[in-house]
Structure 1
Amino acid sequence: MIRHDLSHWPLVLSTMAGASAPDVHQTFFAEWSAWLDRGVPFATLRVFQDDASLERPSGGAKEAKLWLQENGDKIRQQVIGMATVVPPSRFDEMSRMNAEKLFGVPARTFATVEPAVAWIVARLEDNGLTADTAAVGKTLECLLV
């Protein structure tokens, strides 16, 4: 299951739990495309809640690569930063992936939510935008239930 919250725009909060079916994966890309089509800078904080949420459905890697090729310029122009929280058991493995190189934007991987929120809010502030750290934390608590 993938859930998004845009109530703190220009910060997009996303949580993922369990394996994603191909149609959920396609919806995820459609939602990202819609955010990019707004044509304004934004940041994202993604929380992968379990090992299964980190896995792509069959054929998903190819689809992701194609989508990234089609949208890479928009991502580099509009995404202020990407904070990603992964299960602590997968942190070492996932933090070795160079998300900054892959997406061309400031990106970091975290094992817990609190430092991820602080880092992404700082990226927003560096770009003259604001987000209420406490309110973001409360929204994430609701999304992670």
Structure 2
Amino acid sequence: MSVFNPNEQIQLVTFFLNGEEYGIDVMRVREISSMTEITKTANSPHYVNGVINLRGSIVPIISLRRRLGLPDPADDSMSCIAVMDFKGELTGFVIDEISDVIRIKRSEIQPPLDMVAQPWIDGVLNIEQKLVVFLNLEHLA
């Protein structure tokens, strides 16, 4: 059983999606990959773009925009794939653009407001006068 330590330092990868900034725990990120050819899969949910072959592993690719109900981008030239590791299972998420890798104290993560609370939102951070939504992508896979 782990004990919550509010002073524990964690690292987040921050990225943009539809002009808003989001963050994910860097410890869950296997790699960030440039866009590659995605093989379509039949009868998949609308937010599943298909699959890629990542060094011999077949990885499902999810459009994070579609999964969150956002429109497709007008320009996807900066888009990339964040490959996440959820208990040994790889899942890729298409994001608009990587922003930064930051180190924060766990205590800086504020709980989401009740009106926007969703299982995939772990909290909100105020970083340099801007709000960053801290996502739990495992709930969106």
How would you bin the TM-score normalised by the shorter chain?
Answer: under 0.3
RCO (CA 8 Å, sep 6+): is it higher in 1 or 2?
2
- The structure richer in helix per residue is 1
TM-score (norm 1): 0.22
TM-score (norm 2): 0.22
- The structure richer in strand per residue is 2
